[in-house]
Structure 1
C-alpha cells in the first residue's frame, strides 16, 4: 500500500494536470474569440480539434497572430495532457508495484517463521483466535480468501496469505511443516474436515485444533486428524451459564488465562533434559523456588492428574498446569 503522503502527492499531481487542461481549454476559447473575433461555438470547436490533434481543417482562415496562438495552445495542451496521464500512470504502476513488493516481503517474512501458529479463516472466530495468540507474543499467519479481510489484516499488521486453506500449496507456503499448531476456523464444516485431513498428512506431528458447528461433526474431525475439536456456540453457552452460577470463579479463571491480573495460569512442558524429570513435587521444590502452584499434571499418555499430591513424580513429556505470577512463570522455563 502506498503511504498517505505519497498517495496524496500523486493525487495532487493528477488534480493539477486536470486544472491545467481546463485552464488551457478556457484560455484557448477566449483567445480565439479575442484574436480572431470568432463566436463561442467556432472557438470551442477549434480548441477541441487543436488539442485532440485530429488534424481537421481550420474553422476559418487564421491570421498570423492566430497561428502563433494555436501553436502555443498545442504545446501547452499536449504538455498538460501528458502530465496528467503520467500522474495517472504513476498511481497505477506504483500502487501495483507496492502491492507486489508488500506480498513478496510478507512471504519472505513468513518463510523465516518457526514454531508459529496458522489460522485458517479470519471470520468472527478466526479473528478472535488470531488476536488472542498475537496478544501472547506469538507469531501467527492467517490464510483467507476474502480480499476485504486481507486488506484489513494488512492494515492491522497481521501476517496473511490470500488463498484456499484446503490447498496443499497454500498450507506449505505458510510454513505448515515448521509450525507449532494449526487452527481451522472456517465456517464450512466440510472445509474444516478437508483442511484437517490435508494438514495431518503434510505434518503428522502438528497440533491441529478444528472448529465444529455441532457435536455430530466432532467424530469426523477427530478421524480426519484433529487433536481437539471446539464448538464455539457450546463454549459460549457454558461460559454464560457459569458467569451466572459461579461469577467469581469464572472471572478469576478468565483474568488468569488472559493476563488481566498479575496472577496467571500457564502450561509448562517438561523436556527430556529437564532437572525435574524423575523428581516428585516435593523434591522439585517448585513451590519454594518459584512460588508456583501446580494444580494439575497432564501425563505423557494423556491422563490428567488434578490436584497432584506431593509424591507425584514428574516425567519427561509431562505438562504441568501452574498458577503464579508471570515473572515466576518465566523464570521456571530455564529448568524445563
Structure 2
C-alpha cells in the first residue's frame, strides 16, 4: 500500500506540473495519472480496493465543502436564476440525453444514469476559468454559476436513486423503494438539520473557547464523518450525509473556518478520487472506439450548448449571453465522474461505457478553457448570418453625399459620432463586431455591420461621395490596406487615421492619410497645452506652438528614455524610437571630425552637449570633442551599434 501511495504521489506531482505548463486543469492531470498507472497501461498498482476506499472519503469531503456554499440566503437571492434557469437546463438536458440513450437501445436504468452524468457541468473548472479571465461577475458568469448551483443540488437525488435502480428484480417494486428512500432522505435531513440548529452551534462554541486548533479540526472531521455514517446507516449515500452536514453549518459564523480546515483533506482525497477514476479508463476500449468517442464528445458538447442556450433564451436572456453560457457549460463535470464511479460500483455501467464516458469528460474539460477564452469570437461567428444583427441596409441612390464615414465603432468611434451628431453633421459608422452593432442599433445609432477594408462595403457606405473618412481602430496593417482601397475609390476624400503611438506615421502618410493622430503624442500635447496655459502663456501662442509641432510631425515628441520598468511593462517596447546618450571617450576615432560626417541608417543625432552641460548647435563646422555627450535617437539595436562605432569598438 505504501509503495502504491508513493508511486501515485510522485506521478501525480509530475503530471500536475506538466499539465499546468500546458494550461490544463489539475483534474485532468489526476485522471491521466490513474490511466497510466492503472490496469490499462502500466498496471503497477496492487491496492485498488484501498484506493477506492480512500477515494470515497474524497467525495465525502467534497460534498461537505459544497454544502457549506449552500446558504439559504444565497439561494433566495439567486432564486430566479438558480430555480428558474438552472432547473430548466437540468430538466431539458436530462430529457434530451435520456431519449438519445434510449435511441441507442440502452436499458432505462442505464439511460437514466448516463443522462444524469452528461447533464452535469464542471463547477471547479468553470469557476477557475471565469475567474482567471475576469468574467466571474459578468452576466454570463453569474448565469453559469446559477446553473452550476442547481446542478450541484440535482446531484443529491441521483445519489439516492442510482443505488436503488441498480438493485436486481426491482422493476415491480420501484415506487415503494423510491418512496422509502425519499422517506429516509427526509428523515436524514430532519435529524441532521435539527442537530445543526440546536446542538452543533453550542458544540463549536465550546470548541472555539478551548482555542486549540487541533481539537477544532478534529471536531470538524468528526461532524463530517458522523453525518456520512448516519446516511449510510439509513441505506443512503455517504455523500448525501456530508452534503447535509455542510448545509446545516452554512449559516453559522464558523463557516469560513470550517471550509479552511477541511480544504487540505478535501484536496488530497479528491486527488486520490480522480486518480481512482482514471484507473477505470481502458486504453484498448478507447483505441477501438476512437470514432465513437469523438462523436460522443462533439455530440454531448453541441447538445448541451443548444439546450443551455435555449433555456437561457426562454428566461429572456440576450442571445449573445445565452450562447456564452452554453459554451461555458458544454463540458462534463466532476460530479459526472462521481456518478460514473457510483454506477460502476453497482454494475449499472459496463467497463466499455464507463471508460468512454470518463474519456468524454476528460476531453470536454480539457477544451473548456480554450472555448471560454474565445467564446466571444465563437459567438460572433455563430451569429454571422443572424438577420437582425447583420442586415446591411443598402442606401438608396443619393442617400449619402458629403458625409463622414467612421471606420470602427469602438470607444473612439463612438465619441466622434456623438460630437458629429451634436453638430448635425451627416455620418455613417461601420463595425464588424456583431454584438456592438446590435447594441448600438437598439440604442438608435447610425451604424452598419461590415468590414470597412472590403471594397463593396465602402461603396455601400458611399465612399465616392464622402468628404471625410476616419479610421479609428489601432491596427497599422489594416489601416494601410484600407487606405489603399480608399484611394482607388476616391482619391480626393480626406482621411484621418488614429494610431496609438508614432510608429508608422510616415507609412500612413505615404499610403494616402491626410492626417495621422498618434494618441500618446496628442495626449502629451494636450497636457503641455494645459501646463503652458496655467503657467501664464497666452492661448494664441500655445495654439501656434501646437500647430507647429503637428506640422513638423511631432519632432520634439519623438524618442523616449527607457528605464528597466518601462522596458518590462511596455508591450513591444523596443519597436518605439528611443533616446540614448553616449559620452565620447578620448579613444574615439571621431574626435575632431565633423559631427555631420557620422551617418548610420535608423539613427539621428538629436543634440550635442559639451562638458558642463552646454548645448552646441550642430553646423557644418561643428566637430566632436572628447567628453562630448551625444544624444542619439533610434531603435534599440541601431543605438547599440551607433554607440559601438562612436566609441571605436567596431
Query: Fold match, TM over 0.5?
Result: no
Structure (1 or 2) with the greater helix fraction = 2
Q: TM-score, normalised by structure 2?
A: 0.24
Structure (1 or 2) with the greater strand fraction = 1
Q: TM-score, normalised by structure 1?
A: 0.43
